[in-house]
Structure 1
């Protein structure tokens, strides 16, 4: 082997660069190829998960919820399957309610929606002058905070001064959490990232068609053109983006050869497949978290067999999901001391 083709020894600077992620070609002095790495190692117990080991913060008056309630309220309409599943449960609960003189169907519907969206529901007692129970109102869970002292609750709207409810007049229903017992946590929390990804995919697809300046294809030209024709084509392509895009483009080449102009798509097919995959996968995650049969949400089956009998799915869904939710709201009867919540016995649709 000659000295010219022999691999030279790397210098200290090149060795340091290679240890940091740069690849240095030792046999080629004409150019250097640099590579970079991304994605640092993440610990199992990150700073975000360490917060699960702490108690809910309080300001000597009320506790702050472990999850931002305004964020859960915004995420309610992030995905059509997410909001539709919650609305379905809310409507079925409200339809099964037998209104009493203390609780209206409108107040119960608001409490049911708060419980399903935020994991907390609050009923406020309104009493007459003699101290008797007049009615049970719905207090928005987004603005109610549990006080540090037992039995006390605060109204914290944010845009107005906070106020304290009369002690002993607010009753809380919570979805149990494994980290604390002060506030409830919604059951769909594990699928919230999928719902947000579903929204991001839709918004990205909208921007993809709105801006009109994405790299949709490559125009490869290798024919013979008159002077200035290439500049004219370049100018026509520049004018074809933005509002009024997807225009037709006419090109005439008298001396050109067959195949001299080629259109090579680079992003459309791949982006379409990726979009459909994200939408379907995130939809399945959300429906699994809500445990809602797809035929109850109007989803079109992908196969000819369909999803099965909708009446049987409704009966199973009512027994497995709606009846357990009914038992949660029956706890208000023990808290108030009267039968404020009462449900009708349901006859199965399959029967």
Structure 2
């Protein structure tokens, strides 16, 4: 949760009177901003522990789900890879296009992808269904089946042993669960989100950082000051910047001064933060900026999109395809198939990364 800062109300008797009805100096503040995601839970690694039946993931799966939409360049990069995979995927009788897409999305975002083997009457594989990575848990005993853990109390289901295929992006610290390859850019993605939220709150707050409402004249009674305080609190917008009402009876013009360090204007470096965090996410995903619709800032541009796509497919998508094809070894049959990719020069790239030269026109 976001840490809240409190300012104690200061009440002192007016210098020209100490009666019960005399006005008192008062100050209060409000409008503390809150973040959408708890960054501390996402940035800390925890030891892999178990409850006697299954292991808990090293990072909260619910938080990784929320992080999918933390920044447009993150979700767009994930979807670009998924779209290229879906475009090359050849549906089979045992693995539908819908189940494959969900499985691929889980693998790229969560670092783990699960498929459930649905048996036929003869004990073979009838089809493979997607199992959500958010709810799957690895058993403590490797001879037992995986668990599906629901969000409610006592909502759990244990699969039969050998019915779940678990594909993971390897982690250097443990081998029970995978971790997504983009995890190094998590803080950059959250910074990008926070910069956008800051700008939105700044805009909704009337393009200012908050204000001090200073009244130097004494009110006729304390009830009037309380009513003004109540009106200002009730009129503030949700999530706006902190404002302050300050009443000092018989105060001088310079009784309260704001001494800023640097400029008083809001210097949040919005564009710089957005650009730097964007570059971090693109580096983590290894996606050429031209494939995400980013406008070049120089006259030279990013080159031809077709050439960038060919290189990206060969060095990034093909290795993902080869990892996904491991399900065929587990299933004992070719349940997953991919078509060749047509490159811009007329050649083709096979799912294993081999180039087939374009046919001669002679």
TM superposition score normalised by structure 2 = 0.67
Task: List gaps (5 residues or longer) in structure 2.
Answer: 1-41, 213-231, 238-262, 347-362
Distance 2:321 2:284 in 1: 19
Contact conserved, 1:72 with 1:118, CA < 8 A, in 2? Answer: yes
Task: List gaps (5 residues or longer) in structure 1.
Answer: 1-47, 219-237, 244-264
Change (3 A) 1:91 1:51: closer
Of the three residues 276, 286, 309, the one matched with 2:271 is 276
Contact conserved, 2:202 with 2:209, CA < 8 A, in 1? Answer: no
Could you tell me which residue of structure 2 aligns to residue 71 of structure 1?
63
Q: Note the 1:131-170 alignment, pairs <5 A.
A: 131-151=123-143, 152-159=145-152, 161-170=155-164
Instruction: Report the CA distance between 1:67 and its aligned residue.
Output: 0.8
Of the three residues 180, 187, 197, the one matched with 2:191 is 197
1:53-88 per-position Cα deviation (integer Å, ceiling 9, x unaligned): x4x101111100001111110000000000000011
Distance 1:69 1:346 in 2: 33
Contact conserved, 1:119 with 1:175, CA < 8 A, in 2? Answer: yes
Distance 2:73 2:327 in 1: 30
What RMSD over aligned residues (CA atoms) do the two structures have, in Å? 2.3
Change (3 A) 1:336 1:215: closer
Q: Is residue 2:208 matched to residue 1:214?
A: yes
Contact conserved, 2:54 with 2:147, CA < 8 A, in 1? Answer: yes
Give the secondary-structure state (helix, strand or coil) at the position aligned to 2:116. Answer: strand
Distance 2:64 2:336 in 1: 27
Q: Note the 1:121-132 alignment, pairs <5 A.
A: 121-132=113-124
Change (3 A) 1:170 1:100: same
Could you tell me which residue of structure 2 aligns to residue 82 of structure 1?
74
Q: Which has the higher strand share?
A: 2
Q: Is residue 2:102 matched to residue 1:107?
A: no
Distance 1:176 1:117 in 2: 13
Instruction: Report the CA distance between 1:128 and its aligned residue.
Output: 1.4
Contact conserved, 1:125 with 1:136, CA < 8 A, in 2? Answer: yes
Could you tell me which residue of structure 2 aligns to residue 58 of structure 1?
50
Contact conserved, 1:122 with 1:170, CA < 8 A, in 2? Answer: yes
Give the secondary-structure state (helix, strand or coil) at the position aligned to 1:171. Answer: strand
Instruction: Report the CA distance between 1:131 and its aligned residue.
Output: 1.1
Of the three residues 265, 272, 281, the one matched with 1:267 is 265
TM superposition score normalised by structure 1 = 0.69
Could you tell me which residue of structure 2 aligns to residue 254 of structure 1?
none
Could you tell me which residue of structure 2 aligns to residue 318 of structure 1?
313
Q: Is residue 2:111 matched to residue 1:119?
A: yes
Equivalent pairs counted in the alignment come to 257
Contact conserved, 1:311 with 1:350, CA < 8 A, in 2? Answer: no
Distance 1:324 1:49 in 2: 27
Distance 1:162 1:120 in 2: 19
Q: Which has the higher helix share?
A: 1
Change (3 A) 1:324 1:212: same
Distance 2:184 2:331 in 1: 33
Could you tell me which residue of structure 2 aligns to residue 234 of structure 1?
none
Q: Note the 1:298-313 alignment, pairs <5 A.
A: 298-313=293-308
Larger radius of gyration: 1
Could you tell me which residue of structure 1 aligns to residue 349 of structure 2?
none
Change (3 A) 1:213 1:329: closer
1:21-54 per-position Cα deviation (integer Å, ceiling 9, x unaligned): xxxxxxxxxxxxxxxxxxxxxxxxxxx99956x4
